[in-house]
Amino acid sequence: MYKKLVDYLNRIITENLELESKEKALFSFGLELFVGAFLEAIILLILAFLFNIFWPVFIALLSFLVIRPYAGGIHLPTYFSCLIVTLLVFLLIGFIAANIQPGLAATIIVILSVTIIGSILIHKYAPADTKTIPITDPDLRQDLKRKAYIVLLTFSVLAFVATLLFKGYLNLVIAACLGIFSQLISTHPIFFYLVERYLPEHN
């Protein structure tokens, strides 16, 4: 059903566009990623609502998506595997955030930890591209790395301010930290190795 929807939308849109074969392939790939991400988000948020963890999951997902275009990270080879991992990661974050009562000091420590570890990951691995969409332009790589740093720093400042101003919602700050951290840690080579080793393209 997912593939049929993508093919249908691709056919409708490209009929009115004069694109070369390579451009059509890139457009089709981008459309597939967009539709897949949109459907995953809808399914995830519906489940989060049913489990009564909507806001922690929503905030974690938003934090993840804000830095994703700049830091990069792994891409799972099939839509089903991506959906399963997405649901497992974000529902787990939602359950954790919804069932903890972090103190002010603990929340600040989490923010600082995410900022420090995240900066190291960005410095060493971002932008983490894939074989399907390699980033070969060194200027583009530096630009994306710089923007990833800016997003992380902005996030850290906002999280710190929110911690001081909204002390009754510290669990949501933790959810945001876990969301952005889950994105940054996905840039580590070990996750690329695990995907290539256990979820090869032909599976």
What's the pLDDT band for 76 if we cut at 50, 70, 90? Answer: confident
How far CA 49 is from CA of 42, 63, 98, 137, 174, in Å, comes to 11, 18, 12, 42, 19
Q: What gap in Å lies between CA 65 and CA 80, rounded to an integer?
A: 19
Distance of CA 26 to the CA centre of its chain: 21
Q: Which two tokens stand for residue 163?
A: 């911690």
Whether the full predicted model's pTM is greater than 0.85, yes or no, is yes
pLDDT digits over 119-165, tens only? 999 999 999 987 777 888 999 999 999 999 999 999 999 999 999 99
